[in-house]
């Protein structure tokens, strides 16, 4: 089972608490650490993906706010890694790491490498991700493959003649993971924002008013109980 989280509401949580928005991101970091542990304890979640930072966030957020978020990543991920190793969790990323500071990208790749043997649960951080960007980069990959070939015309004809949904999806960041079964968005906004867009045709959605830093084990369990009771009449 693949549970995908859109972790929304950090800044609004801080505003409601009369706190600076930076603290909202820090508390959001606390929340994701807790949720990873809860999902491992439940034992029925094979893949947990969490949208940490979109491409638009990177392009449009103030530099001071982004710097604070990057500092949280620098602090929390090394601290989380022993827990991942102890619990058999493999770490993965989805998104354009070229948008990130070099040291952040290197840290993400290092933790991915060190946790490859984890076979209990996959934990995916979606960072530098946008669905339009994912599709554009997939097309760029196909064009680069054509340009690098010994016979570009023949390669282009071959790709064109075999291109279908499955072939196209193989060029996407999300291609190596199963489609999300359930996408949960916290923070009260009822929109998907393109999260796992190409892969979410049959995903179930659940929107909650809870701001991400307040997301609880009780709410996670209630959401999962509701999901398992749903009838999903489709061929996946």
Is 133 catalytic? The answer is: no
Select which of 10, 56, 57, 86 is catalytic.
57
Select which of 8, 133, 173, 181 is catalytic.
8
Encode 31-51: b = buried (16+ Cβ within 10 Å), e = exposed.
Answer: bbeebbebbbeeeebebbbbb
Cβ-based neighbour number of residue 53 at 10 Å = 22
- Residue 23 to residue 26: CA distance in whole angstroms: 5
Is 57 catalytic? The answer is: yes
Cβ-based neighbour number of residue 5 at 10 Å = 26
Q: Tokens 């999260």 appear where?
A: 195
Residues 6 or more apart in contact with residue 121 via CB below 8 angstroms: 39, 40, 45, 46, 47, 48, 87, 88, 89, 90
Q: Write out the catalytic residue numbers.
A: 8, 57
């Amino acid at each position: 089972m693949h549970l995908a989280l859109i972790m929304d509401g950090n800044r609004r949580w801080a505003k409601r608490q009369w706190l600076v928005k930076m603290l909202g991101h820090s508390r959001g970091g606390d929340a994701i650490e807790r949720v990873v542990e809860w999902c491992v304890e439940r034992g029925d979640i094979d893949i947990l993906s969490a949208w940490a930072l979109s491409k638009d966030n990177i392009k449009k957020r103030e530099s001071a706010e982004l710097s604070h978020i990057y500092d949280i990543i620098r602090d929390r991920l090394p601290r989380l890694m022993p827990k991942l190793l102890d619990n058999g969790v493999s770490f993965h990323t989805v998104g354009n790491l070229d948008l990130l500071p070099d040291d952040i990208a290197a840290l993400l790749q290092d933790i991915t490498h060190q946790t490859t043997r984890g076979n209990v649960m996959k934990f995916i951080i979606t960072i530098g991700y946008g669905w339009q960007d994912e599709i554009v980069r997939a097309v760029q990959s196909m064009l680069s493959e054509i340009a690098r070939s010994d016979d570009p015309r023949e390669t282009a004809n071959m790709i064109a003649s075999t291109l279908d949904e499955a072939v196209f999806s193989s060029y996407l960041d999300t291609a190596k993971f199963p489609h999300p079964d359930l996408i949960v968005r916290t923070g009260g906004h009822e929109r998907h924002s393109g999260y796992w867009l190409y892969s979410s045709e049959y995903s179930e959605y659940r929107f909650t008013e809870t701001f991400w830093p307040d997301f609880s084990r009780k709410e996670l369990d209630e959401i999962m109980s509701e999901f398992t009771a749903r009838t999903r009449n489709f061929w996946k």
